[in-house]
Structure 1
Amino acid sequence: MELPRPLLFGAVLLVAVVLGPWLARVAGRLGTVGDAARPTPLRVAVMTAVFAGLLAGAVELTGARPATAALVWAAGAAVVLGAVDLSSHRLPDRVTYPTAGVCAAAFLLDAAVLGSWGALLRAVAAAVAAYLVGAGAAAISPEGLGYGDVKLLGLLGLVLGWFGWGVLLAGVFLGLLTGAVVSLALLAARRAGWRTALPFGPPLMTGAVLALALGATTLG
């Protein structure tokens, strides 16, 4: 479905402005135990801007098709998960599980409407593969990879696998690279030590976004 780009990006801006503050409040509640923390205006602005950028990227990548709903929902989930992981080192199942369900349903609808069955099967296989690899890594080194990260890897496998195995591999590699760069920067600045536990969700999601921006193409 072809819609004018100005109309699509106008809708993106409207959605971001309306939902961005709500996403910030949700992240505040999930990231603060026992206290529904009210986010600061700066935090609301940053999260809204990041959400708007992710939505714009989703529209630019897929246009207007059922699969776009998966990317839009995943964008909102990524904003919340990233904020919660940074504040409390948690990736709540109440965000990860519904996101996986919505993405799978959107991809299934896309396949039914546009015939993208190959992409759907690849996405499911990639989700299973990413989850199993993550689970194996967590079993070997529980300190390095939490089970929330494992479930996030499964979700990222579903989304990135829709676009191709190369995109999935690039996303994981760029996520690991981002995490390593951030860790070294914190060590150099003496903001963290070698044994400091750092959240791994934001680097993984950053790698996924970079992989989609650099390697994915719109499906026919």
Structure 2
Amino acid sequence: MGWQILGIVVGFLAAAAAAFFAANGHQMSRAVSITVTVIFGLIGAGCGWACLIDLTEHRLPNRLTYPLIPAVMLAAIVLAIVAGQGHRVTSALMSALITGGLFFVAALIAPTGIGMGDAKLAVTTGAMAGWWSYVTAMWAIFSAFVFAGLVALALIAVRHATAKTPIAFGPFLFLGAVVAIWWNVAASPFSW
């Protein structure tokens, strides 16, 4: 039960971040603002829960990763309708396919590095970030690797890990997507 509670907390933090951007002068209508807040909260809760399981068990369960994929695509469609920007659905879908495909190939080539759970979560985070743009999706993946690398180096430096110690990558995928989205929103406010 603890994972669910922590996942919900992460979701509400994501929702609070969306509400913050909406309330601080970004050019979103009230409908878009509310929709973004609700959707970020729900997807954030699911991703947060999955990431907590990944941190403790080094796996991303199918019962979480599979439902997140249609949830984020439905969210992309709803947001595009509310915002009146249908092209964003294509961007989200293509970004999901590209990031998921890259991680799927990586999982096949080196299954001890990137797992299939990471590949499925990459579809979700790729769609989340890709809704803003293809570039945002690529920054999300790049950021995930940078954050994971920095944490790995820090763990090695304080002798809590070696170069062969497995590190859960799911939390970094989610963090990379959130940071890329926040950066995109902060750097260039929405022009709905």
**Cα distance 1:170–1:177, how it changes in 2: closer, same or farther (>3 A)?**
same
- 1:14-69, Cα deviation, whole Å (9 max, x unpaired): xxxxxxxxxxx2627xxxxxxxxxxxxxxx6x766544321111223465354544
Runs of 5+ consecutive residues of structure 2 not aligned to the other structure? 23-31
Structure 1 counterpart of 2:157: 188
Structure 2 counterpart of 1:58: 18
Q: Choose between structure 1 and 2 for higher RCO, CA contacts under 8 A separated by at least 6 residues.
A: 2
Give the TM-score of the pair, scaled to structure 1: 0.74
**Distance in 1 (alpha carbons) for counterparts of 2:120 and 2:99:** 9
1:209 has 2:169 as partner: no
Pick aligned residue for 1:74 from 40, 43, 52: 43
**Cα distance 1:122–1:48, how it changes in 2: closer, same or farther (>3 A)?**
closer
Larger displacement relative to structure 2 (85-94 or 99-108): 99-108
Q: CA deviation at 1:173?
A: 0.9
Partners of 1:70 and 1:102 within 8 A in 2? no
Pick aligned residue for 2:121 from 152, 165, 168: 152
The letter of the residue matching 1:27 is W
The letter of the residue matching 1:157 is G
**Distance in 2 (alpha carbons) for counterparts of 1:185 and 1:70:** 33
Partners of 2:155 and 2:161 within 8 A in 1? yes
The letter of the residue matching 1:58 is A
1:163 has 2:123 as partner: no
Pick aligned residue for 2:95 from 126, 137, 141: 126
Q: Secondary structure at the match of 1:163?
A: coil
The letter of the residue matching 2:3 is A
Give the TM-score of the pair, scaled to structure 2: 0.84
Structure 1 vs Structure 2: percent identity of aligned residues? 28
TM-align CA RMSD: 2.1
**Distance in 1 (alpha carbons) for counterparts of 2:161 and 2:191:** 42
Runs of 5+ consecutive residues of structure 1 not aligned to the other structure? 1-24, 29-43
Partners of 2:103 and 2:122 within 8 A in 1? yes
